[in-house]
Chains A and B, each alone.
Chain A
Amino acid sequence: MAGMEATVRAGWVVPLLLITAVAKAQQPVSIAIERRLAERLRVQVGDTLSIGVDAGATDRKAIVSAIYEPAPDPAAITKREYFLRLHLPDLAALLGSPDRVERFAVALKPGVSPAAAAERLNQIAFGFRASPSRDIATESSQTFRVVSRFHQAIAVISVVASGIFLLCMMLLKVEERRRDAAVMRFTGISRRTIFAALLLEAVLVSALGSVFGVALALGASLVTNLYYQRFFDTSLVFSVVTPSIVRFSVLLSLGLGLAAGAIAALRLVRTNPLILWGRG
């Protein structure tokens, strides 16, 4: 079933569904349609469809010889296009462009550099351009690089916001212990011990928050994937919580918690216990 791929639109396939009479004059062409399109048209292998380039001229008969699941393509999911596959000569005839193709895929002998081969081909090229697959992949992934940069920028803002929030919370959490710290000082407990106790508390709170945060992120990621996989009818994975992301988040949380706890605890132990008690 090797051949070119034709884009079939939602509006375009409706006439295909309606005109299903078996052709008499022409031998039907053999086509493979993707699973989503087959479900939409409610067709099975062996059914006959009418296809054409223009919606008003769907006069070519086609027999569904296969239903396939296309490789998930992140670049195409938002367009919600439908695809069907034809043998190359059949599609060329349908388009009225015999012996014309959009591109060739070239397999090189082992050891041949794709860049060097593409350069040699381009020296003799007229009307085509040869590019190593790696360059094409780089070019076609531009969209995702832009999305990735956008996500990174949003992530930086989120990290700053959550960092400030965490600092604020830790500061308040430690300051809430003013009276406890005063009592400890009155009973002769050393500043160092109080500082260590407050710091330990801050670290414990941060660690606990980190655990809850990671669990929340895993849950949110799961929901995100379930929702978008269903929304776009695809097996693509939209959200991945990697060990490096978990590591970064936990370290950031612990670091900020430790820093905020240390600053606030230092202020507390340096303050006169009478002031902490509210009598200074």
Chain B
Amino acid sequence: MEDTFVVAGRELRSRLLTGTGKYSSFDVMREAVLASGCELVTVAVRRIDLDAPGESIVDYLPDEVMLLPNTAGCATAEEAVRVARLARAGGLPDWVKLEVIPDQRYLLPDPVETLRAASLLVEDGFTVLPYVLPDPVLAKKLEEVGCAAVMPLAAPIGSGRGLKLRHTIEIMVEQAEVPIVVDAGLGAPSHAAACLELGADAVLVNTAIAKAADPVEMARAFRLAVEAGRAARLAGLIEELETASPSSPVTGLV
């Protein structure tokens, strides 16, 4: 049986989601998205500059990927709801990666406003994937209001520091009844593999791919790492020991 995970009834084969920000060009972004094998990509929503509309990112995204609009830039529940409704009315999917972030230095999400926005958006028919600090109690509350997945950060957005908040993410994974998608802070494919090994359903990666020296190759590396991490999770990792355990026979020495 194929190993997939399901968000709001949609079956996803790829456990790697990617962001579309920070690429040197839309061409490179497109090639990286293709190399990543991802099925969901995040996009932001911004006003068009009437003086210089420029090209649309949508023209560069493969037809087969689903767009996941985010609410980046919103600091309150009302702002996030406004952006999500605007995106849906304009033809984007009724899915939203909910970000409510009042803090510009660490870009840490506001849990109270996030929960409030999630509740309003679910009531309005959205499929909501909230970006949160890894807080198992908050995750349960988000589940209770009807969120389709929860997206805890591994480390601050764009920091590349890896799985700094491992322990609470492990608790979230243990308790979750919706998919857990680790989002933000992953810097290396090994970080992504570690997330899948500990049981996360998927990861979302942007900066580590977009800002790599070769983003297309890095996208491929993350795809392989996510596959490896998931395979390891299914295969069952050994328990860690305090002392050594010899791999060669200890008898019959010559």
- Do they bind each other? no
